[in-house]
């Protein structure tokens, strides 16, 4: 067999693979959800909050530290309600603190 290797962009690869296409769609949806609630997150906390995975009606936010998680936990009902009003099926938002590792 003579296989020619050629480069493809991530977009091309995701279009050719149903699994990658679904993953790309979920990633875009997660980022869009974060953008939709960004105005509800206090300004100083915004850099500490990142979009996480979507698992059915449960969405995950990834936080830089426990203090950010504690504050976001207080406003979760407002965030969930806002997303539902915007048309997303969100039953709950899960919070995950990502501990930075020393390099």
pLDDT(89) > 80: yes
- Is it the case that residue 29 has pLDDT exceeding 60? yes
Q: Is residue 82 a contact partner of residue 56, using CB atoms and an 8 Å limit?
A: no
At 53 the pLDDT is: 96
CA angle 91, 93, 97 (to 5 degrees): 160
Which DSSP letter does residue 64 get?
Answer: S
pLDDT recorded at residue 102: 59
pTM for the complete prediction?
A: 0.79
Say yes or no to pLDDT of 73 above 70: yes
Least confident of 14-23, 39-48, 59-68, 84-93: 14-23
Instruction: State the average pLDDT over residues 7-13.
Output: 74
Q: Is the pLDDT of residue 2 over 60?
A: no
Are 34 and 26 in contact by the 8 Å Cβ rule? The answer is: no
**DSSP single-letter state for residue 4:** P
The rounded distance, in Å, linking the Cα atoms of 76 and 72 is 6
């Amino acid at each position: 067999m003579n296989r020619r290797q050629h480069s493809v962009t991530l977009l091309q690869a995701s279009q050719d693979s149903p699994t990658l296409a679904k993953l790309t769609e979920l990633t875009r949806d997660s980022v869009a959800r974060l953008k939709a609630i960004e105005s509800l997150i206090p300004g100083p906390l915004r850099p500490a909050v990142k979009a996480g995975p979507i698992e059915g009606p449960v969405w995950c936010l990834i936080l830089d530290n426990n203090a950010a998680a504690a504050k976001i936990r207080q406003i979760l009902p407002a965030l969930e309600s806002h997303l539902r009003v915007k048309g997303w099926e969100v039953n709950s938002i899960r919070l995950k603190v990502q501990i930075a590792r020393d390099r």
